[in-house]
Amino acid sequence: MSSEEVNKENKLWGGRFTGTTDPLMNLYNASISYDAKMYKEDLEGTRVYTQGLQKLNLLSAKELEAIDAGLTIIEQEWSSNSFKIVENDEDIHTANERRLGEIIGKEISGKVHTGRSRNDQVATDMRLYCYNNLSQKIIPFLKNLISAIIHRGEEEIDVLMPGYTHLQRAQPIRWSHWLSSYATYFAEDLERLEQLTHRLNKSPLGAGALAGHPYGIDREFLAKGLNFNDVIGNSLVAVSDRDFVVEIMFWSSLFMNHISRFAEDLIIYSTAEFGFVQLADAYSTGSSLMPQKKNPDSLELLRGKSGRIFGNMAGFMMSLKGIPSTYNKDMQEDKEPLFDTLLSVEHSILIATGVISTLFIKSENMHKALTMDMLATDLADYLVKKGVPFRETHHISGECVALAENLKLSGIDKLSMDQFVKIDSRFTQDVFEIFNFEQSVEHRDAIGGTAKSAVLAQLNKLKTKV
């Protein structure tokens, strides 16, 4: 047999073609370089599928036993890095079936693809791979990140810092309130991811190329064997649906948007101008020129990778949007951005967890950054409690701030009693009692507020989600 004949025989689709294939086309068409990571899912799909064939008496019990033994050997080869990819192993499905034939003989291995198409095979592999990756890695890792933030929030509940809007000092808050805000974002991400994972866990196996299975295979049996929670009810959709890929990329883009904002806050807080936090050496680098530098590279990479992940989603959406129904080869473009996204998200969660677990906070600098003008709202609230409409008190408080600035005082608390009364006669001596940062945060004890009780309630509620 010539080498060209061998090549054609190895191709799952080679019988129709009589001419040679452009070598560049072989390279252009191949996906084994990246879809090999689905080897476990591909072998498991074949194992369960052949059980379904045996139920139809299309395989004997002895043949099924040989196939199962061969699949076990192949899995051991992959896991030990001894599996040898050969020419014409264009994808993981071809490679595994070719190797199975070498181990148990092609007379038996040639039966494993009966009634099955690579269209439903790859869709099955991908759903299994995504489910396993999300449920066994990303979801547990994300829970660990949230737990690390919650733990830190509980430990450092007494630390106060400025809260910002427009990156301008606004009102005093607890450092734990800031931590709780990102734990809340990530907990909502977790909820969305769990919902997504449930949706993607549907079986396309047994749908054939597009029209369904010619031998009446029990698709519910296949789904149960692979731990899917449902069967995709339309064979056209089963082979061509990549909404789960898009949804994973959507989710990843939103999650990484939250990670990026988290990183950006910490980058700002770590600057000398703020000096609120200091990264552990394990998550920092130095400068090749300036020996004094300690760069927050871990956080900058988190921020940068968010753009990469959004780009993966946008690129695949452009590949997907114009293709006609059922399977088209364009869909092969799903794997590289998907796999890159999953790995990048996994690593980003682990890095973020490491950063927040080892971060050193400079609570004294946080407290020094609190200024009395941040209590201007408290000054307005003081008059509200005396029955003055808030719109009026807002204006009065602004006058007090302006007067302190014009007099070049260090804060509104340095105004005299006479100066307060001159602005509004309803001020009395107890006005000076409001100039207390701890008292300010403790007044905000409604649900979601920055009082200690409110923040601890937030953290306790978040614990129930992880």
pLDDT digit string, tens, across residues 367-380: 999 999 999 999 99
Q: Are residues 192 and 313 in the same domain?
A: yes
- 241 burial level (CB within 10 Å; 0-12, 13-18, 19+): buried
Q: Are residues 217 and 332 in the same domain?
A: yes
Q: Are residues 354 and 381 in the same domain?
A: no
Highest mean pLDDT among 16-30, 213-227, 280-294: 213-227
pTM over 0.85: yes
Q: Are residues 60 and 177 in the same domain?
A: no
Query: Is residue 215 in some structural domain?
Result: yes
pLDDT at residue 31, as a whole number:
85
Q: Are residues 376 and 359 in the same domain?
A: no
Sequence-ordered list of residues with C-beta below 8 angstroms from that of 170, at least 6 positions apart, any chain? 162, 163, 164, 374
Considering only CA atoms, give the Rg of the chain: 31
pLDDT at residue 288, as a whole number:
61
State both tokens at 382: 């003081």
Q: At what angle do helices 335-358 and 118-133 cross, to 10 degrees?
A: 0
Q: Are residues 154 and 58 in the same domain?
A: no
Query: Is residue 238 in some structural domain?
Result: yes
pLDDT at residue 26, as a whole number:
73
What is the per-residue pLDDT across 3-27, written as a single tens digit (0 to 9) for each?
Answer: 444 455 555 545 554 556 677 777 7
pLDDT at residue 28, as a whole number:
73
Give yes or no: 181 in active site.
no
Q: Are residues 239 and 320 in the same domain?
A: yes
Distance CA 210, CA 233 (A): 12
Over residues 130-148, the mean pLDDT reads 98
Residue ending a domain, among 96, 114, 132, is 114
State both tokens at 265: 């806050």
Note the Cα 381 to chain centre separation in Å.
Answer: 41
More confident residue, 16 or 210: 210
**E strand segments, 196-309:** 202-203, 230-231, 277-278
Q: Kindly tell me if the per-residue pLDDT of 296 is higher than 70.
A: yes
- Average pLDDT across the chain, whole number: 93
Catalytic-role residue among 3, 80, 166, 288 = 166
What is the per-residue pLDDT across 71-124, written as a single tens digit (0 to 9) for each?
Answer: 999 999 999 999 999 988 999 999 999 999 999 999 999 999 999 999 999 999
Q: Kindly tell me if the per-residue pLDDT of 394 is higher than 70.
A: yes
Q: How many CB atoms lie within 10 A of CB 401?
A: 17
CB 201 within 8 A of CB 228: yes
Query: Is residue 191 in some structural domain?
Result: yes
Give yes or no: 33 in active site.
no
Catalytic-role residue among 287, 325, 410, 453 = 287
Query: Is residue 185 in some structural domain?
Result: yes
3-state class (DSSP) for residue 49 = helix
Can you give 81-124 as a three-state secondary structure string? CCCCCCCCCCCHHHHHHHHHHHHHCHHHHCCCCCCCCHHHHHHH
Q: Are residues 260 and 388 in the same domain?
A: no
Domain of residue 407, residue span: 372-435
Over residues 289-315, the mean pLDDT reads 89
State both tokens at 245: 């890929």
Residue ending a domain, among 368, 403, 420, is 368
Q: Residue 432: pLDDT band by 50, 70, 90 thresholds?
A: very high
Q: Are residues 211 and 93 in the same domain?
A: no
Residue ending a domain, among 95, 114, 133, is 114
What is the per-residue pLDDT across 311-352, written as a single tens digit (0 to 9) for each?
Answer: 999 999 999 999 999 999 999 999 999 999 999 999 999 999
Q: Are residues 364 and 376 in the same domain?
A: no
pLDDT at residue 55, as a whole number:
98
Q: Are residues 169 and 207 in the same domain?
A: yes
Over residues 139-155, the mean pLDDT reads 98
pLDDT at residue 435, as a whole number:
96
pLDDT at residue 1, as a whole number:
44
pLDDT at residue 4, as a whole number:
46
